[in-house]
Amino acid sequence: MVSKSVLQEQMAKQEYKYGFVSDLDEDKAPKGLNEDIVRLISRKKNEPEWFLEWRLRAYRHWLTMKEPKWSNVTYPPINYQDIIYYAAPKPKKPVNSLEDVDPEIRNLYEKLGIPLIEQERLAGVAVDAVLDSVSVATTFKARLAELGIIFCSFSEAVHEHPDLVRKYLGTVVPFNDNFFAGLNSAVFSDGSFAYVPPGVRCPMELSTYFRINAQDTGQFERTLIIADEGAYVSYLEGCTAPIRDTNQLHAAVVELIALDNAEIKYSTIQNWYPGDKNGKGGIYNFVTKRGKALGVNSKVSWTQVETGSAITWKYPSCILQGDNSVGEFYSVALVNNYQQADTGTKMLHIGKNTRSTIISKGISAGYGRNTYRGRVQIHKGATNSRNYSQCDSLLIGSTCAAFTFPDIQVQEPTAQMEHEASTSKIGEEQLFYCQARGITPEDATNMIVNGFCKQVFLKLPMEFAVEAQKLIGVSLNLEGTVG
């Protein structure tokens, strides 16, 4: 089967184009974690006392927690004392405006295709760029401010908008939620904060671009987004990291809160370095993302395209608390070479007439292991709630694996549940059929995979759907595109 082995060989070739390292002068904490490090981070960020207290409580609680072992991934034990918990590029001079951003950093983001200037190409998108532990630039702030929209780095929000932070921080993902969320709460150094006031429809995509640059550092960022009554916001997150032999830990927390009649749409294109073709290096992406549809008629919608990371452990979830609230999860997760992903969602139906939709598309190639894990809970009193779940797996080659663990708990007799699942394989027959029509196996695979993902790509903001499509091709290492 020449065509198949050629294809597998093609896919094993690593082609991660964001793997460069930028030579930045960084201000780093010593390796290891203890209360002093937590205090140091807090001091570096000049945080108020209440915030330090919160961190310390998180840290002390974290010490009593155990790393979760239930997921369907394997990795050597992580030495939490061997990680640097704070690294920040040293500003050459104080940064007061975008023009003051260090040219090296500006270069770095240019290379990533995210220019930190408010120029036309990205005119519809406001970017908050987070490098290692700190936010380095936020674009379009002034324009957003005119509408009362707050979009800034988390550290800035702690100083400028302490009431909002205090009111909402940890209300969706408390620090005792899980091991990685606890760790994040203790040591997170930055992230993005967004608040959209009542009745305002945010006119542009808000976007955070996360970048790990420094060696041996973990990245622990925290994002908090609040859509007040009747507000709407669409938010996009992208990530990359340099190619390194060692694994790097990324443990983020994202909290979304939608009040009455509000809607938050959160999209992720996750492209952390996945490791080389032998499984060496890559990011451990252990992330807690959760949205609370708190108000009546509110909506939280997750769309994720996960192609990076050596290991992904991630379940963007919705707590459907308000009556008539809606939760959505659209996901494409791709593993190639030795990547492992254990990802999915939780939909907790608490309010009446709540509805949720889960569309999960898992693609496995090489020696990848792809697990979908989903939980749908219909609580007592969540009358007339509905869930529709669809989990599809696509296998490329014969050395990869796909697993599906749906967990459905219904305590409400009026609930309506629908679950569909499928597993298919790109077979030699399909590829040959395409070849017999003049299409190369690489283009054919790309075409079949994109067809498989279409339902999810359609949910992404237009310009990012194109990116996602390209990214999938690159991650499978397929040259060229069709169409």
Residues that bind other proteins (CB under 8 A): 1-3, 424, 427-430, 432-441, 443, 447-448, 450-452, 454, 482-483
Tokens representing residue 481 in the block: 């595109």
Report yes or no: 313 and 340 within 8 Å, Cβ to Cβ.
Answer: no
Task: Kindly tell me which of 1 and 466 has the beta carbon lying closer to other proteins.
Answer: 1
Q: How far is CA 37 from the centre of its chain?
A: 26
Question: Is the CB of 40 or the CB of 439 nearer to other proteins?
Answer: 439
By beta-carbon proximity to other proteins, the closer residue of 203 and 427 is 427
- Least distance to other proteins, CB of residue 445, Å: 11
What's the min distance (Å) between Cβ of 335 and other proteins?
Answer: 19
In the complex, what is the shortest distance from the CB of residue 447 to other proteins, in angstroms, rounded to a whole number? Answer: 6
Is 176 or 455 the residue whose CB approaches other proteins more closely?
455
Closest CA to 376 of 344, 413, 341: 344
Q: Which is nearer to other proteins, 416 or 481 (CB)?
A: 481
The secondary structure of 260-275 as a DSSP string is TT-EEEEEEEE-----
CB of 11 to other proteins, least distance (A): 18
Residue 220: closest CA among 171, 186, 244, 193: 186
* C-beta of 245 vs 429, nearer to other proteins: 429
Considering beta carbons, is residue 3 or 383 the nearer one to other proteins? 3
Q: State the nearest-atom distance from the C-beta of 450 to other proteins, in Å.
A: 8
Least spacing, CB of residue 453 vs other proteins, in Å: 8
Give the residues across from 388 on adjacent strands.
357, 418
- In whole angstroms, the minimum distance from the beta carbon of 2 to other proteins comes to 5
Residue (of 333, 463, 318, 326) closest to 403 by Cα position:
333
Which among 270, 259, 293, 391 has a CA at the least distance from the CA of 339?
270
> Minimum Å distance from CB 6 to other proteins?
10
Q: Which residues contact 164 (CB under 8 A, 6 or more apart)?
A: 150, 157, 193, 195, 226
CA nearest neighbour of 153 among 123, 133, 169, 181: 133
* 340 Rama sector, left if φ>0, alpha if ψ -120 to 50, beta otherwise: beta
Which tokens hold the place of 351?
């309010």
Between residues 212 and 365, which has the closer beta carbon with respect to other proteins? Answer: 365
325-to-38, 320, 349, 463 alpha-carbon distances in Å: 38, 6, 9, 28
For 407, which DSSP code?
Answer: E
Question: Hey, is 175 helix, strand or coil?
Answer: coil
CB of 41 to other proteins, least distance (A): 47
Kindly state the smallest distance separating residue 230's Cβ from other proteins, in Å. Answer: 37
Short-list 18, 15, 190, 17, CA closest to 88 = 190
| Phi, psi (deg, nearest 5) at residue 58 | -60, -45
**Toward other proteins, which CB reaches closer, 3 or 215?**
3
Q: What pairs with residue 355 in β-bridges?
A: 326, 386
Residue 46 corresponds to which tokens in the numbers above? Answer: 């000049």
Of the pair 292, 459, the CB lying nearest other proteins is at 459
Shorter beta-carbon distance to other proteins: residue 136 or 456: 456
Q: How far is the CB of 468 from other proteins (least distance, A)?
A: 15
Which lies closer to other proteins via its Cβ, residue 90 or residue 454? 454
Cβ neighbours of residue 87 closer than 8 Å, sequence gap 6 or more: 26, 27, 28, 29, 132, 133, 213, 214, 217
- Is the separation of the CB atoms in 78 and 199 below 8 Å? no
At CA 72, angle to CA 71 and CA 77, rounded to 5? 70
Min separation Cβ 5 and other proteins, Å: 10
Bridge partners (DSSP) of residue 390 are: 359, 420
